[in-house]
Amino acid sequence: MIDKFRSDVLSVVDAVPSGASIAVGGFGSSGRPDALIDALCELDRRDLHVYVNNVGHDFTGVGRLLHEGRLRRVTASFPILQEFYDEYFAGRVELELIPQGTLAERMRAGGAGIPAFFTPSGAGTMLSDGSFTLRYSPEGGVAEHVPAKETRMINGREYVLEEGIVADFGFVKAHKADRKGNLRFRLSARNFNPMAGMSGRTTFAEIEQLVDVDELHPDDVHLPGVFVDDLVMSTGKAPATDEPAAAATRKAS
């Protein structure tokens, strides 16, 4: 019978080899799957290609992977972390910078069997014309550019062809899950998590609460268990309570 919950995060993440590509949920530290990322460090995985919106701050999240030299490439929209740029300009990590909406749509498309789509975002800019630096040379100067993207005029407007992202693994953080892998997120911690879960050929979700299999109403599931392979408990901060939204909701002035 289907029971996707595992007690040991290391034995789950052990399936990720060095060199793997991983789509990672989270926006800033909100909804970031730290337990799964930390397990990559514990297991000494290296040479990783991470699709993620932000690289984190200090040495948490993807920032820890960076700090420990575990990243080959980052595909991101907003990798604001000085140490990341230091590594990028030194030629020790590659940066494929893409618009945030393109990142979300590419993850979804890959998970949805759409190999490519046209988008107006980034048309006529350095992020589509082949002039953005993917990798600097350790000796200084540009080693490689992000290739120019195919463009097309449609109804008089220029669009860029972007590819769906099918990552080897998806790393997700969710608020609640049942043992079938059905996930529910909380407030703006949802963000990229459903997309990362769709994008991974194999997807792991770390969760704050494991609930009975009949607790999530079928209409309340944000990402169905069919996208999720293994569940582990999240670590760190105490699980958020259920109803701070009410407290956080007040009349706009």
Partner 1 sequence: MTDTIPAPAPVTGRTREGIAERLAQDLQDGYVVNLGVGIPLLVPRFLPADKEVVLHAENGVLGIGGDADPHEADPDLTDAGKQPITLIPGAAITDSALSFAIIRGGHLDATILGALQVSASGDLANWYVPGKNPAVGGAMDLVAGTPQVWVAMEHVDRKGRPKIVAECTMPLTGKGVVTRVYTDLAVFHVVDGQLRLVECAPGVTPEDVRARTGAPYTEHLAG
Q: Which is nearer to a copy of itself, 133 or 199 (CB)?
A: 199
The one of a copy of itself, partner 1, none whose footprint includes residue 230, by CB under 5 to 8 A per kind, is: none
Phi/psi of residue 133, nearest 5 degrees: -80, 115
DSSP class per residue in 76-138: ES----HHHHHHHHTTSSEEEE--HHHHHHHHHHHHTT--EEEESTTTTSTTTSS-SEEEE-T
Give the nearest distance from C-beta 121 to partner 1 in angstroms.
Answer: 4
Give the count of residues interacting with partner 1 (CB under 8 A). 81
3-class secondary structure, 57: coil
Whole-angstrom Cα distance, residue 169 to residue 199?
8
The yes or no reply on residue 210 touching partner 1 (CB under 8 A) is: no
Residue 154 binds which entry of partner 1, a copy of itself, none, CB below 5-8 Å type-dependent: a copy of itself
Is residue 190 part of the contact set for partner 1 (CB under 8 A)?
yes
Q: Which two tokens stand for residue 206?
A: 């770390």
Counting contacts by CB under 8 A, is residue 222 touching partner 1? yes
Is residue 105 close enough to count as binding a copy of itself by CB under 8 A?
yes
95 is in the binding site of which of partner 1, a copy of itself, none (Cβ under 5 to 8 A by kind)? partner 1
Least distance from a copy of itself to the Cβ atom of residue 139, Å: 35
Question: What is the residue whose two structure tokens read 């909100």?
Answer: 30
- Partner interacting with residue 78 (select from partner 1, a copy of itself, none; CB below 5-8 Å by kind): partner 1
Binding mask 175-194 for a copy of itself (x = CB under 8 A): ---------xxxx--x----
Cβ atoms 29, 53 nearer than 8 A: no
With b meaning 16 or more CB within 10 Å and e meaning fewer, what string describes 124-159?
eeebbbeebbbbbeeeeeeeeebeebebeeeeeeeb
- List the one residue from 17, 19, 69, 120 that touches a copy of itself (CB under 8 A): 120
Q: Restricting to residues 4-63, name those near a copy of itself by CB under 8 A.
A: none
Q: Are β-strands 230-233 and 167-177 bridged in parallel, bridged antiparallel, or unpaired?
A: unpaired
Tokens representing 105 are: 């749509």
Alpha carbon distances (Å) from 111 to 33, 108, 199, 222: 19, 5, 4, 15
- Which x/- pattern over 6-45 shows residues binding partner 1 (rule: CB under 8 A)? ---------------------xxxxx--------------
Residue 190 phi, psi (nearest 5): -70, -60
* Residue 219 in contact with a copy of itself, rule: CB under 8 A: yes
**118 contact choice in a copy of itself, partner 1, none (CB below 5 to 8 Å, kind-dependent):** a copy of itself
Scanning residues 123 to 162, which ones bind a copy of itself (CB under 8 A)?
Answer: 154-155, 157, 159
- Per-residue burial over 93-120, b if 16 or more Cβ lie within 10 Å, else e, is bbbbbbbeebbbbbbbbbbeeeeebebe
Chain residues that interact with a copy of itself, rule: CB under 8 A: 105, 109, 112-120, 154-155, 157, 159, 184-187, 190, 214, 217-220, 222, 245, 249
